[in-house]
Amino acid sequence: MLSDRQKLILKAIVEEYISTNEPIGSKSLTDKPYLKFSSATIRYDMQYLEETGYLEKTHTSSGRIPSQLGYRYYVDNLLTRDEDVKNIYLNIDNILSNKLLTKETAVVEVLNYIAKLSGCFLAIVGSNACYAKVKKMEIVPLNDRDALLLIVTSQGVVRSQRINIPKDFKMDDLLRIMNMFDVAMYDQAIYEIREILAREATKPRIREIVDYRDDILNFMIKGFASFLNNECYKSSMTPLFNEPEFKDYVVMQKFVKAIDSIEVTGLIYNDKKGLQIRIGEENKELGLNDCAIVSIPYYLDLNEYGTIVAVGPLRMNYKGVVPILEYLANSLPKLYK
């Protein structure tokens, strides 16, 4: 159990180390206005924090740096939100509200903006589209045998899939059937497509156009398959690789290999449970045991949600990153709507 004084000292050391990337000595802490203790008292508490595993002593100086346990205690018990980051919110709003940008471009631009500020790699993983509601379906003929299947979802996503028309099936008949399916699918979840298509294809109004055939149903289901994947947007990795911990080529290579092997969706744990911060060894199975991962969900409605993820060094500026991600999570639904 840490005393209030020891908590203040640990908080000061974590935040000073995050800012300077230099081991912290007791003398530098005596200058802080909220640590009006003698140098001897601070040295004693720093020794205690080291013995109990919250601090580590470096080999190059008498200063200390936070251990993974120290970071864990800090984010769980001592983390406060940096009020100065509110100045950043307006810039986020300006990017997301720019009418000249597509949704996809705006999302990537805001991720790169935050990445540059924080020195992190960021990603947004959209909710599984199978829970999205269908708002519009349409077939656009390309030639006699090929067409473009379009779907607009409640997430504001417009997706397309090129499809090949089954042999001996007329394009005009396909367009007529699609108009009927469009009405039936309106405001239904994408994961229900197979069931609805099968049900609609047996109705007399469609059977009048063409006898029920598996190849017609299957090619339409196949056309929708691409809509069942998660959206994923990523920032540049350059800001992260500019951080001192990642300038080593071996460290960079290890990070890239880990991200490539698990994909961004692998960074998400229990993404509907709110803000989560995982530190160091807690990410060992991902090969990112030298990193901190902050994730937070954003909600479009009760069924549609996604996750924002930031990956950075253990020395991540948590009190700046956390409120920025929280603000972005609250802002993204406006962009989608």
Domain range summary for the chain, segments of one domain joined by +: 4-78, 83-127+231-336, 130-228
Reported as a single tens digit per residue, the pLDDT across 33-68 is 888 888 899 999 999 999 999 999 877 667 899 999
The pTM of this model reads 0.73
Is domain 130-228 in CATH 3.30.390.10, yes or no? yes
pLDDT at position 133 is 76
Task: Count Cα neighbours of 245 within 13 Å in the Cβ-side half-sphere.
Answer: 21
Question: Which pLDDT belongs to residue 210?
Answer: 56
Residue/partner pairs of 279-284 with CB below 8 Å, 24 or more apart? 279/68, 279/71, 279/72, 279/75, 279/314, 280/68, 280/71, 280/314, 281/68
CATH class of 4-78: mainly alpha
pLDDT at position 98: 92
User: Which token pair is 293?
Assistant: 């991962």
Its CATH architecture, for the domain 83-127+231-336, is 2-Layer Sandwich (3.30)
Phi, psi of 66 (to 5 degrees): -70, 145
> CB atoms < 10 A from the CB of 83, how many?
9
Asked if residues 138 and 175 have their Cβ atoms less than 8 Å apart, the reply is no
Kindly give the confidence (pLDDT) of every residue in the chain, 337 residues in length, as a single tens digit, with 9 standing for 90 and above.
899 999 999 999 999 999 999 999 888 888 888 888 888 999 999 999 999 999 998 776 678 999 999 999 999 999 999 988 989 999 999 999 998 988 889 999 999 999 999 999 999 887 655 566 778 877 788 887 777 777 777 766 666 667 777 677 777 777 777 777 777 777 777 667 667 766 766 677 666 655 545 555 565 655 555 555 567 888 999 999 999 999 888 888 888 888 776 566 566 655 557 899 999 999 887 888 889 999 998 887 666 678 899 999 999 999 999 999 999 999 988 876 6
Residue type present at position 169: F
Q: What is the pLDDT of residue 7?
A: 95
**Which region holds residue 190: left if phi is over 0, alpha if psi is between -120 and 50, else beta?**
alpha
Report the pLDDT value the prediction gives residue 303, as an integer from 0 to 100: 61
pLDDT of 236 reads 92
**What is the structure's pLDDT at 247?**
86
SS3 breakdown of the chain: % helix, strand, coil, rounded to 5? 50, 20, 30
